[in-house]
Every structure is written in C-alpha cells, then in structure tokens.
Structure 1
Amino acid sequence: MTQRKVLTGARLVLPGGVVEDGRLTVDGSTIAGCGPAAAAAPGTAAPAGAAAGAPETETYDLAGHWVVPGFVDMHVHGGGGASFSAGTHEEALRVVGTHRRHGTTTMVASTVTGDLAELARQAGVLSELAEQGDLAGVHFEGPFIARNRCGAHEPALLRDPDPGEVRKLVEAARGTARMMTLAPELPGGLDSVRLLVDAGVVAAVGHTDAGYEATREAVDAGATVATHLFNAMPALGHRSPGPVAALLEDERVTVELINDGTHLHPAVLELAFAAAGGERVAFVTDAMSAAAVGDGVYPLGPMDVEVRDGVARLVQGGSIAGSTLTLDQALWRAVAVDELPVEDAVRALSATPARLLGVDDRVGSLEPGKDADLVVLDGDFRLRGVLRKGAWVVSPEKP
C-alpha cells in the first residue's frame, strides 16, 4: 500500500502566499494536498480504510517550522569535494547528494571552459544522469566567453562562439542541454543565440564585454538569462549603462544572483529585486567543489582554486572562482540579512528557476499533483528536513 506522510502545523509557502498552521499530505512520491489544517477534510490523515496512525501513515508535527518547495539550482559546478567537470558518474552523484542534503532537490550540472572534445565527453556522462532523473540537464558555461571577463575560466581555451561548435556541444548532451552561457558580442555570438533558441536551449548572457545595445540585440535574438548578474560583466554606469541595465530592464530576462555576501553587496541585491521584480530573479549557487566541505585547494576544470574563510579564488591571479554556497544558506541570508519577504526569497529558489528550465509542471511549488519535493526550515530559517519525491533525504526528526 502507498505510504502517506502528513505534515501538520507548519507555515506553508504556497503559490498564493503563506498559510499559517498548514497541512500538507504526500502520497508516495506526489503531493496529494496542501492548505490550512482547519480546512482538511476528516479522514485525510490516512488512506481510505486505514486507521489514523496506522503503519502506512507517518505524521509530523512541524509547529514553529516552515515548509517550502524544494530548491532548484540552475547554475552549480560542484560540492562535497567533487565536480561535474570531472566527467564521472561518481563525482557527479557526490555533487548531487551534497546539494540535496542542503535542500536542492532539482539541479542542472554546469561545466567550465575546457577543450571541446572533453566538454562533449562530460556532457555525455552528465546526460546519462539526467536521463535517469538525477539531474535536470546540462549547462555549458564557456568556452564561448570574453577573455577580459573570463573569471575562473582558462583563457587559453576560450574561443568565439562558432554556431557549428555550439551545435556539437548541444548534440553531445543528447537532448539534455538546458542552458549555455556565452558572450554575444563575440563573432558568431548572435547566430549562436538563435541556434540555441531553435534547439530549445536557454541562451544566457554572461562573462561578457557587451555594451547596452549589444546586450539588447542578444535579448532580441532570444537570450533570456543573465548569468550571475553584475559579476563577470561591465559595471552599471550612468553614461554607459552596459549589460546590467539592458538585462534588468527587459521583462523577457531572468537574472541570476549569487547571494553569498561575497559576490553582491546587499544594496545591489535590493536594486536587482526592485528593478526586475520578484518573478524575474533566480538565486543560484555557482558552487564549486568546496561547497559544504571547507577551506583548502581544489580544482575547477583545469584551474586551481584556494578557499579561505569560505571564499574561493584562483591560485593564480586571485579572481573569485565560483562560490562555496548552498541554497539553504542563500535563503537564510535573503530573509535574515537582506530582509526580503519570504515569498520572494522562496520564489527565487524554486518557482522562477523551475519555470525557466521548463520543469515547473513537476517541481518549483507546493501544489497537489507535483513531485513531493520540499524543505523543512525552523523558525530561524535553518534547514531541518529535505523530502525528495516523497522520501526523506534529511528527516526533520533527526536535524
């Protein structure tokens, strides 16, 4: 018989707002119902014909807690001491497991700049994990990016975005390519954006030297994401607004923000939300292998990264090299430090990236019929439980 879980007493963050003293019911791997506890029909705590408290029903009293949708990270490179760029099932699954324990129940695997043949090989490995449901797809970050804005990407491996090469990488992912970050001002950039759109792949503007007009052209060509807005692109200027203004002002664009306290000042975060609105912001980690591990020296593609006090920088040159962030930390910071409304912070971690990736029919919100992916937080917004497809990854009984 299908096992049922009943979560009671928590604040539920639903698409329509926060429900106090809520009740959420899970049947198997699916959400069966959610809403005010007082509105629950008699007998909904157990399957028909079963007594309340029968072995088929697990009931969790979560008074004083929050229940929010499982997080969706559309830009993550590694964690737990492992990296997607290693191109092995073992390391990729270690990354997945690490971030799941921190609430990310859906994620896209991001690569870093490398030799095209090696990137194609990595894409083939990652596509297998996407096909079996461990990943939501593949994100290629580089090698088609600007040399002056390459950040933690190997300059010697950068190249102009030739549409033929772009197509080969997309094909190597065997239908699981979800996004590609490129610099649209480079030769072939706009044609590559159009190719990606025709292939059903999200074209993202990032690691770019594009000006305001060139960025607008890229959006008109079909680009719909700003890769870690403000980082690895020209700064906003009052006479030269650059890509930041073009990306913030256009309603077709979703902007990624890395909310770790290092990549963005809180005032800049507030500016992005004010300009784009809560429905166009997606929190991402851009995490590298040190996430959830600690300080030390780690590989990031062909580069070496040193992590000190949780901040990752290239050993050579000192550029910021991704983050050590997990999305539960991003949510805590958004609410406790940045003082964002809970609904806006949760949307940026779930519904918005799910919609952009085209998986919002299954995940991204707490609604009947969707996957039972959710996160339990205590009153201080610290993670206490993670449920994925109806199975506890982290049980709220064992924080």
Structure 2
Amino acid sequence: MSGATAITGAQIFDGDLWHDEASLLMEDGKIVGIVHERDIPLSATMISMDGARIVPGFVDLQVNGGGGVLLNEKPDVDGIRTICAAHARYGTTALLPTLITDTPEMTRRTIDAGIAAHRAAVPGFLGLHLEGPHLSIARKGAHDPALIRPMEPADLEQTVAARADLDALMMTVAPENVTNEQISALAGAGVTVSLGHSDSGYATVAGAVAAGARLVTHLYNAMSPLGHREPGMVGAALDIGMLHPGLIADGFHVNPVSIRVALRAKKGPGRIFLVTDAMSPLGTQMTHFHLNGRTIYRRDGKLTLADGTLAGADIDMLSCVRVMHEKVGVDLEEALRMASLYPAEAIGMTGRKGRLTHGHDADFVILDNDLSIIQTWIAGNEAYRAGTDD
C-alpha cells in the first residue's frame, strides 16, 4: 500500500502499553507512530476499526508446515508461500519455515528455496530453521534416527554460507553431536544456534552457551529433564540467563502447571517465548500426513506417530496465546509479548519486529474482544481478512 494509512478507532497495544483514542499510522511498510486523530495527515487513507484491538504481529520461530504443505515434502518457494499464508490467517506475520531432520540433499534444496523466497519477498517469510540433523538419537522425538548424524565440515560450510543470503537462519543442534568450535563458528557467522533434542547435562549445555548458543528448542520436550542431582537441559534452560527457550503451549506438549513453574524459574535476560511447531494440517481438514515415509495421525488435537509419539503440534499462534492467558493464567499483555516481542528478542530483531513503534515493520493483527482474528497485516498490506477463507 503506497502513501500513509491510518487505522482508527481501535485500542492499540504497542508491545508495552495499551493506547486508547489513538490511531496507528503507517507508510511504506513501516510504523510511523501511534497518534491522535488530529495528527493524521490529510492525505492519509483512513480505515475505521471501531471497538477492535490492534496488537503486534506474531513471530513464530518453529513452523514445519501449514495449509496442507510440509516443508520437508515441498521445499520450494510455492511451498514456503503456502505455509506463510496459512499462518497469517492466525496472526503470524513473520515465521521461520522449519526443516525437520532429513537428507543432505533435502537440506540443500530447502536452503536454496529459502534464499529464493527471501529474494521474492514472500510475505511473512523471515528465514529458515534447520531442526537437525545433528541431534541426539536418545532424544530424537519424531525425528528419523536413520537420518541423524554428527556435523561434518561440509555441513558447517553450507550453513555459514546460507546465513549470508537470509535475514535469519536458526539451527537446532544437540551439543553432544556438534563441537563447541562448530557452535562458535555458526554463531560467529550470525546463525542463531538453538539447543534441543539432547540428553546433555548442565555442564555440557553451559559450554555450548559459552561457545555462542542462545536458544533452546521446545522447552521440556525431547531433552534431559530437571533432576535433583543433574539439572539437565531443562535446568540449564531456566538457570542460564543468556538462553531463550521456546515453548509449545498446546496443552499436550507441556502441562500448564509445568509452564507456570518455568515462567517463575526463568532467569533473565533471556525469556520464554511461544512457538507452534505446527505441521501441514494447520488450516485444513487433513486427518494424516507423511514425514520421512512415516504416517503421522491427527487425532483429538494432537499429531502423533503410530506409537503415540508427539510429532509436531496441531495449533496456531493465536490459540497458543489463548492457552497462555486462559489456562496458564498469564496476563494478556505478557501472552502477546511471548508471541511477538520475545521471539523477536531471541533472534535479535527487536528493531523490526515485536512492537508497534516508529520504524518497526507494519506487521500487526486486528482482533475482536473475544481474541478472534479480524485482519492480519504484513509490511503495511492486508494479508488476511476473516471471512475470506476458501
């Protein structure tokens, strides 16, 4: 949308505070500011949203699929575009399509697709997340153990090179399957290193953090638990202030009581943020799909392998916000930050994402009082309007 646009009549949450009787002013894909109606330029396009709420767009750092597409099955620009559009329906305005452990060829194809999506400026595409293959077989979860392997020099070189062509590149590794020197090289090149699918103890995790790791992939799940003699990766994630742990708040992956304990225990400045870990069924009526030749079933709000192992999540980010607010008991403002500001902090993008203040990307969600989607805007353009689903 060219020229200035002002959205009026809504209550606006800028990421810190609510603003009443104010308007959101944007131009050229950026936020100009939250202003009084009298300060809106006469030439601006006016859009009235009386009684609605405007909040920062959601940032999802772990998205395996959506709209019927799994990144592992369709690693191309069209697949990425479909995934991003599917999540925009639920308020996500920036995401990292995530490749689950796969072959070297599939990793290469996914990186090429991500670079092409970046060049094509696919709405909502923030970068890539490579979840594996350098994980722990002991904590593999739904990852195919036949494809898990240590990091080789060629893997490191490929990942470092890819980062130069993407706004963001995140990689989940188990510290027992990579070296601290490799973590340091990745972090030094600007790759966001996340620790997960690991059986490591506290000391090993601390060593990886010293080398440059900064995130933890889906707290509690597929990692060594908190014990009274060995704190494990869960203990390290909560105790080491530099770590930002992601959390799947679908009511199945982590019990609400355990979420409350983690929120009270987390040492800063790193903060717990929300991820969906969504798979291809999001936004569809699919009852099953395939990953690495294995069938994953969609039943009772869960996605599982035949043996009951959880395989991603059947949830969108707005629903995660509702779970945090309604079932965990987190204030709405904090739940919104966990879906927007805190993931932006985790990958060093607070200058662009997570707030509705001057100079930030005009990525926002318009909600009604029941926290249902009215519209999603990405870079100053309407990306989704309720009631326009196919």
Contact 2:138 2:199 in 1 (8 A): yes
1:169-208 matches, within 5 Å, as 169-172=159-162, 175-176=165-166, 178-186=169-177, 188-208=178-198
Q: Which amino acid aligns with 1:151?
A: G
Contact 1:331 1:346 in 2 (8 A): yes
- CA-to-aligned-CA distance 1:223-278 (integer Å, 9 cap, x gap): 10000010001221122211111111111110100111111111111122212268
- CA-to-aligned-CA distance 1:15-71 (integer Å, 9 cap, x gap): 432223432122342222215xxxx262x34x34x4xxxxx52321332x3211011
In structure 1, the partner of 2:97 is 109
Residues 1:289 and 1:396: Cα distance change in structure 2 (over 3 Å) = closer
Q: SS in structure 1 opposite 2:318?
A: helix
2:63 counterpart of 1:76: yes
In structure 2, the partner of 1:61 is 49
Q: Which amino acid aligns with 1:284?
A: V
Q: SS in structure 2 opposite 1:286?
A: coil
2:220 counterpart of 1:230: yes
In structure 1, the partner of 2:243 is 253
Residues 1:236 and 1:155: Cα distance change in structure 2 (over 3 Å) = same
Q: Which ranges in structure 2 are unaligned for 5 or more consecutive residues?
A: none
Q: Percent identity?
A: 32
Separation in structure 2 between the aligned mates of residue 117 and residue 170 of structure 1, nearest angstrom: 17
Equivalent of 1:374 in 364, 368, 372? 364
In structure 2, the partner of 1:8 is 8
Separation in structure 2 between the aligned mates of residue 280 and residue 142 of structure 1, nearest angstrom: 23
Residues 1:88 and 1:301: Cα distance change in structure 2 (over 3 Å) = farther
- CA-to-aligned-CA distance 1:88-111 (integer Å, 9 cap, x gap): 222221111100121111111110
Separation in structure 2 between the aligned mates of residue 119 and residue 19 of structure 1, nearest angstrom: 45
The alignment covers a number of residue pairs equal to: 384
Query: Post-superposition shift, 1:323?
Result: 0.7
Query: Post-superposition shift, 1:385?
Result: 1.4
Contact 2:8 2:46 in 1 (8 A): no
Contact 2:83 2:97 in 1 (8 A): no
Separation in structure 2 between the aligned mates of residue 81 and residue 22 of structure 1, nearest angstrom: 39
How big is the alpha-carbon RMSD for the aligned residues of Structure 1 and Structure 2?
A: 2.2
1:292-331 matches, within 5 Å, as 292-315=283-306, 317-331=307-321
- CA-to-aligned-CA distance 1:319-342 (integer Å, 9 cap, x gap): 100112111111122222222112
Contact 2:15 2:354 in 1 (8 A): no
Contact 1:89 1:125 in 2 (8 A): yes
Q: SS in structure 2 opposite 1:322?
A: strand
Q: Which ranges in structure 1 are unaligned for 5 or more consecutive residues?
A: 51-55
TM-score by length of 1: 0.90
Query: Post-superposition shift, 1:3?
Result: 4.2
2:373 counterpart of 1:383: yes
Contact 1:376 1:396 in 2 (8 A): no
Separation in structure 2 between the aligned mates of residue 319 and residue 130 of structure 1, nearest angstrom: 34
2:332 counterpart of 1:345: no
Contact 2:4 2:27 in 1 (8 A): yes
Separation in structure 2 between the aligned mates of residue 295 and residue 311 of structure 1, nearest angstrom: 12
Q: Which amino acid aligns with 1:66?
A: R
Query: Post-superposition shift, 1:145?
Result: 0.3
